[in-house]
Structure 1
Amino acid sequence: MSERKAVIPAGMEAVYEKIGYAPAVKVGNTIYVSGQIGRDMAMQLVEGREAQIVQAFENLKLVLSAAGASLGDVVDLTTYHTDMRDLPLFMKVRDQYLTTHPLPAWTAVGAHMLGGAAGYIVEIKAVAVLPD
């Protein structure tokens, strides 16, 4: 089995140290990214629906970059939404970030609450594979 390596970008150390999970784990050429929410580097909720979705994608991009990957390497995306009526807005933002074809597989799930606190509307989990 390949070695597992925690991926912890600068600014996300508190997630690992205080909350107790890695923003991602890299195993061989595969990167498993934990759910990214609309929280800034000060671990504060970003206000505004579109701004929160953008921040979640920016956090995903940051984690992938720290692992040596990009959004173009994402092969599987799972998103959790507190209000499925946000899907058109989510897809509008998503399409600005995910432009490499073929597009990744995607599963959208409705959820009551995200990020352990009220106010979060989306969480984005991904799997990326680096080229050999």
Structure 2
Amino acid sequence: MTDAIQIQTDPDPYAAFNIAQAYRVGDLVFLSGQAALDLEGNLVGVGDFDAQAEQAFENLRAVLDAAGSSMDKLVKVTIYLTDMSNFGKIVALRERYFSPPWPADTLVEVSALALPELMIEIEGIALIEGQVTAG
């Protein structure tokens, strides 16, 4: 039987919302959506997509690090945007934060996220052990 181990940063900005940042299940880590909140739970970059996106990607990295994983072990991400006109910026951010072989990706435009000021949220699944390799 495989146990699920909760993963969190210190401090954990999601604790106030009763949300786990991630769970490790076997050799996989499942991450909740990472948004533009700093570690104290303050919203970063109100009205500034670039600042919010940077914070969301950095939060993704921080939770992966806390889980014993890394950005190059991501196998799947889902990116939620409130405005699909930022698609080109997402492509550039993927190139900056990810590396080949690229993680599988679903990009979705939504009318709103958990907080009205949020413009982006990223969830993911990553390996703990092993490597992601091209086929």
3-state DSSP of counterpart to 1:62: helix
Does 1:33 pair with 2:31?
Answer: yes
> Identity over aligned residues, as a percent?
33
Match of 1:131 in 2: 129
CA contact (8 A) 2:80 2:120 kept: yes
Match of 1:102 in 2: 101
Does 1:15 pair with 2:11?
Answer: no
Match of 2:133 in 1: none
Match of 1:53 in 2: 53
CA contact (8 A) 1:50 1:93 kept: no
Unaligned runs of 5+ in 2: 131-135
What stretches of structure 1 move > 2 A for 4+ residues in a row? none
How many residues were matched structurally? 128
3-state DSSP of counterpart to 2:59: helix
Structure 1 residues 94-130: Cα deviation after superposition (integer angstroms, max 9, x where no partner): 211001x21110000111111x221111000000012
2:7 and 2:40 map into 1 onto residues whose CA distance is 19
Unaligned runs of 5+ in 1: none
How high is the TM-score relative to the length of structure 1? 0.92
3-state DSSP of counterpart to 2:107: strand
How high is the TM-score relative to the length of structure 2? 0.90
RMSD, aligned α-carbons? 1.1
3-state DSSP of counterpart to 1:109: strand
3-state DSSP of counterpart to 2:72: helix
CA displacement at 1:42 relative to structure 2: 2.4
